[in-house]
Amino acid sequence: MTSVSLSTSAANALRADAVVVAVAKGPKGLVLAPGAETVDEAFDGKLAAVLTTLGATGAEGDSVKLPAPAGVKASLILAVGLGDATEGDAFDAEALRRAAGTAARALHGSKKAAFALPLADAAAVEAVALGALLGAYTFTAFRSEAALAGGKDPLAEIALVGAKRGDKANKAAVDRATVVAEEMNRTRDLINTPPNDLFPKSFADIVTTVGKEHGLKVEVLDEKALTKGGFGGIMGVGIGSARPPRLVKVAYTHPKAKQTLAFIGKGITYDSGGISLKPAGHNETMKCDMSGAAAVFAAVVAAARLGLQVNVTGWLALAENMPSGSATRPGDVLKMYGGKTVEVLNTDAEGRLVLADAIVRAGEEKPDAIVDVATLTGAMMMALGSRTFGIMANQDDFRDKVFAAATAAGEQSWPMPLPAELRKGMESPTADIANMGDRMGGGLVAGLFLQEFVAEGISWAHLDIAGPAFHEGAPYGYIPKGGTGSAVRTLVQLAEEASAGAL
């Protein structure tokens, strides 16, 4: 993976393939951001004018390359946009992350680059490091050697110039950024892995292997244990596949933990819709329906690697949703873990079924809070688009805390309500509840369904990441095409706040 280091060298004096500087949109045109001073000197103070001539605007996502002049040891200058200029040296952390990600993507094929971006404090150092590491991500595990030989390797080494190398806060910022980036990229790898290679058992095997590496306790319930234990939701979804389901528990504990969290991830390794088959054109990306489980897994590993003083248990509800002679049918009634019965009206509303079993099981351990993460509903994408996830909760103050954590972590989210009147639509004449309700507000209906399985006295939040979990368009900032790692940063932020006893 790409490495990040702090350098005391001036940007113009560092031996590298490229120097990255930042520009912004000022009231009278393009302006150089702090960090570009020594490079500007090499252009006799005319770098902004040259970049303007080449079409640079300073807008977010903007990037312009030009040859380095005499006085700069690198051969290439890359200018990336930060958006609107600000007073002083400080820029928004997300703008820094996106600019660094844009630069890292633009420098694929280079070995080393000096990033001379605004580094006003340790938070800025972390933002630049994280954005660069995420932007350098590529997924090549399934490409042939011949295809790889004709491509470009990701940027190998990044030197951050302008921050004190011996400063403990800056070093800690780089270390944290590295852990979070590596775990987000682990999430991306899992999401991008094709479903013939990643299925419930193979996913569980990966968790077991990685868990041992990081001192985590891993328990795996196979189809026999799930049947015996009464996990009717997970079994009901997975029973139609030749690859049986799993429930994986991965736990990190700390002797000085102040609080205990349970993270639950939807892990549908492929979703055909089951008997309620998805229409043509909706199947091709359904390998991403395990994004929630991947995010939860990565967040638990990150908590362990960061040594957070918190207990975090991840529950990965893994299944393939396939149509077959043994598959659950619309109209069937499932007896869920804990005894509640559910009439299945649509087998493509399967995520809430596997999550419900895991929520009840997690609640038995009496955590301080439960947070589930799922690519759950197309309705949430209709409401919030493809870059923002929705947050629902059984307590307004807890929902606000999760929203604040997501905002602090730099992830786009929005708090959503759970209107009580929508519960009536899930009434069933046959079972305790149906897995479908009103079509309008479908994302909220799904949240209300899950709330039914939360034990009294436990704070609970539901993150519907259907929009941002998988990006189908062109890469931008630090977001690649394919799996994104959505919700990992929010979960890590929550674990850090719980480590301080703040939840």
The DSSP annotation for 341-358 comes to EEE-S-TT--HHHHHHHH
Q: Would you name the residues annotated as active-site residues? A: 278, 352
Which pLDDT tens digit goes with each residue over 130-181? 999 999 999 999 988 877 877 788 999 999 998 876 789 999 999 999 999 9
Please list the ranges in the chain whose pLDDT falls under 50. none
What pLDDT score does 85 carry?
87
Question: What's the confidence (pLDDT) of residue 88?
Answer: 67
Dihedral sign for Cα atoms in the order 378, 383, 388, 392: negative
pTM, whole model, 2 decimals?
A: 0.96
Give CA–CA dist 497/503, Å, rounded: 6
Instruction: Give the Cα separation of 362 and 116 in Å (integer).
Output: 46
Give the Cα separation of 296 and 359 in Å (integer): 14
Per-residue confidence (pLDDT) for residue 89, from 0 to 100: 67
- The encoded tokens of residue 194 equal 């094709």
Distance CA 202, CA 206 (A): 6
Res 152: pLDDT: 80
- Report all structural domains of the chain as residue ranges with CATH numbers, in order of start: 3-163 (3.40.220.10), 186-499 (3.40.630.10)
158 φ/ψ angles, rounded to the nearest 5 degrees: -125, 130
Q: Residue 339 has what pLDDT?
A: 98
Measured CA angle at 387 (ends 465, 141), to 5 deg: 75
- 3-state SS of 233-281 is HHHHHHCCCCCCCEEEEEEECCCCCCCEEEEEEEEEEEECCCCCCCCCC
Nearest Cα to Cα of residue 500 among 378, 416, 408:
408
Interacting residues of 464 by C-beta distance below 8 A, sequence separation 6+: 374, 375, 376, 377, 380, 389, 390, 392, 443, 446, 447
Neighbours of 80 (CB within 10 A): 28
